[in-house]
Amino acid sequence: MNIEDLYWRQANRRLLAKSLAELCYEQALVPSPGKDGVCRVSLKSGVDYRFRARLTIWDWLYIDVASLERVYNGRAAPAEDAAQFFIDAAANLEASPATLGNLLQELANSLVADVTLLQKQKGLDAGTLAQLPDEQLQCLLDGHPKAMVNKGRIGWGAQEFDAYGTESAKGVRLLWLAVRRELTVSGKGDGWDWPQLLAESLNKEECRQLDWVARQKGIDWQTFLPLPVHPWQWQHHIRQHYAQPISRGDLVFLGEFGDAYLPQVSLRTLSNLSRPQALHLKLPLTVLNTSCYRGIPGKYTRCGPALSAWMQQLCQRDAELSARGTCVMQEVAGVQVPQMHQEQIDGGPYRYRELLGATWRQSPASLCAPDERHLLMAALLQRDEGGNSVAAALIRASALSAQEWLEHLFDATVVPLYHLLSRYGIGLVAHAQNITLVLRADRVVRVLLKDFQGDLRLAQGDFPDRADLPPEALAALDQLPPSHIFHDLFTGHFVTVLRYLSAQLMAETGLHELDFYGVLARVLRRYQNAAVLQDPQMTQRFHQFNLFRQYVERVCINRVRLRQGYDDSAARPVPIIGGKLHNPLWLAEQRQRTQDSNEPETLSPAEATL
């Protein structure tokens, strides 16, 4: 067996194990537990999948990848073909032939990227990964653990994966356009002008060269704005969809200029390769990846700078947020160019309304003190080839116990998110790619928040503390019932991040999941008690956003794609609600009450099942 085949089999086993675990969690498949932790999933096709697993506190299977077997006609063989698994499970998943075919394309793309990552991760242990610069580490991350096929990138071929994919770790030089101002929707923060924004990407000599090219083409910067565009987006979408304004001279191609940019784990977010403190750029890439097309919605462009500035001011004036050093990676400017014909179609595909634009955002490096470093929270979940995680490596390096380290983490991250939710009715979809940790001596000391374009929402109701929210932001942001916004924290962070972290730390350090969530419960109760002492009305808010209720709705994202398919839609996919979950915070507090009363301890539902 050659080395390429070994990597291919390994990538398939890992993706298959993740898919099995997520589909069982989302109740699309039903596992049958047996003896010694052996589970079986029986499919309508007559195929069984068998594996060893531990059922976690979240009713989620932590699967031993090496144990996976496919059983057919009484014969068992190693399960090393993820595509075959989806074919075997198609009837159970209620996937149409068209959906299944497109899913297999996403799967193939993801596997090729995963193989590249396995090759690049070879020989890097968790301790080494934990000390890498954030930008470099992001190019080695496996990506969203909740999305089955998280590197689908439909629309890209092998050349694009190699040139522009995160795992390629290659610098990308951007193309620059001049756009007539009246065609744009734009906004910028105080203290920023367009020459300053250009200087974040171009040195003085290149700025002069760009300006010379612009003058040669008759561009007057009083009537035009500079706009960067990803070379792939220009080649595959902008030249065609914007041919009319190009032919009229309203959209002018200037050429390739400036610093090289490194694609981060979110693919369309780019960090300056030579100047880490320079602004990040977020550019549309019309590829289908992790459930939706990666464009930039125009409705947030005008209000983005004002909204992020308001959020930063809130972090500074609010005592809870200020005490924890909570900070915002501000969106200092944004430009969006609507496609004039697509905008006239009511209910047309959303991807055609998000083709051309840019967001300039502060880099985490610019917000860190000399003795601090930044780390994307997704990095905590990354494991080396021996199964050891970056989180456990940081705990060891910090000289703290796992519980002490987690207390720092929760106080710096979860408390600010919960405070924003309960005090201001602001929900942030705080998955691990939206949260940047700031570390000092390998301990988490504070958090940087970002990505408010669609991932910041408001709870309906009377929240006087957000009365000074900029009107343009209030008009653009979605407002939903508190019961929906609750899930921005609970599902967006607890289920999407902590579910994996608690299982991993139990496997590595032996920290019981009930102890993990016991730490989180104590941190949150300490915050609640202090908040109620200062303002008794917060009791009602904590009841409204009750993180300690016994059961919580199970939110499913993978079933959405299986049900909806790959047809164009006017809006991004909406999750499906499954059966109820036992809340780990409630379970942890129940155990503590039992211990305090000296009653016999009962098993959690997960422990009782296996």
- What DSSP string runs through 267-317? SSEEEESS-TTSPEEE--EEEEETTEEE---GGGTTTHHHHHHHHHHHHHH
Q: What is the pLDDT of residue 600?
A: 55
CB 324 within 8 A of CB 446: yes
Q: What is the pLDDT of residue 609?
A: 37
| pLDDT given at position 599 | 61
User: Which two structure tokens, joined as six digits, stand for 261?
Assistant: 């940019």
Structure tokens at 171: 């610098």
Query: In the prediction, which pLDDT does 595 show?
Result: 85
Phi, psi of 531 (to 5 degrees): -65, -40
Quick one: tokens of 592? Answer: 């503590």
**Whether the predicted model's global pTM rises above the 0.85 cut:** yes
Nearest to 234 by CA among 277, 278, 292, 285: 285
Pick the closest to residue 328 from 408, 197, 443, 417 (CA basis): 417
DSSP 8-state code for residue 332: E
Q: How far apart are CA 498 and CA 517, in angstroms?
A: 9
Give the per-residue pLDDT at 53: 96
**How do beta strands 48-55 and 38-42 pair?**
antiparallel
- SS3 letters across 424-440: HCEEECCCCCCEEEEEE
R_g (Cα) of the chain, nearest Å:
25
Please give the pLDDT value at position 440: 98
Q: Is 94 exposed, middle or buried (0-12, 13-18, 19+ CB in 10 A)?
A: exposed
CA dihedral 467→468→471→474, nearest 10 degrees, is: -50
Numbers of helices and strands, H then E, in the chain: 23, 25
80 CB neighbour count, 10 Å cutoff:
18
Q: What is the pLDDT of residue 603?
A: 44
- Dist CA 32 CA 228 (whole Å): 53
548 neighbors 521 (Cβ within 8 angstroms) = yes
CB 428 within 8 A of CB 449: yes
What's the confidence (pLDDT) of residue 610? 34
| Structure confidence at residue 604 (pLDDT) | 46
Lookup result for tokens 């309304």: 353
Full set of structural domains in the chain with CATH: 3-138 (3.30.310.280), 158-313+328-366 (no CATH), 369-581 (1.10.510.40)
DSSP letter at 235 equals I
Average pLDDT along the chain, 610 residues, taken 10 residues at a time: 91 98 97 89 98 96 97 96 98 93 95 96 97 96 93 92 94 97 93 94 96 96 96 97 97 97 93 96 93 84 93 97 97 95 92 95 98 98 97 98 98 98 96 95 97 89 95 94 96 97 97 98 98 96 97 94 80 84 97 78 43
Is the four-CA dihedral 511, 513, 519, 520 of positive or negative sign?
Answer: positive
DSSP per-residue string spanning 534-570: H-TTHHHHHHHT-TT-SEEEEEESHHHHHHHTT---S
Residue 586 tokens, joined: 């409630």
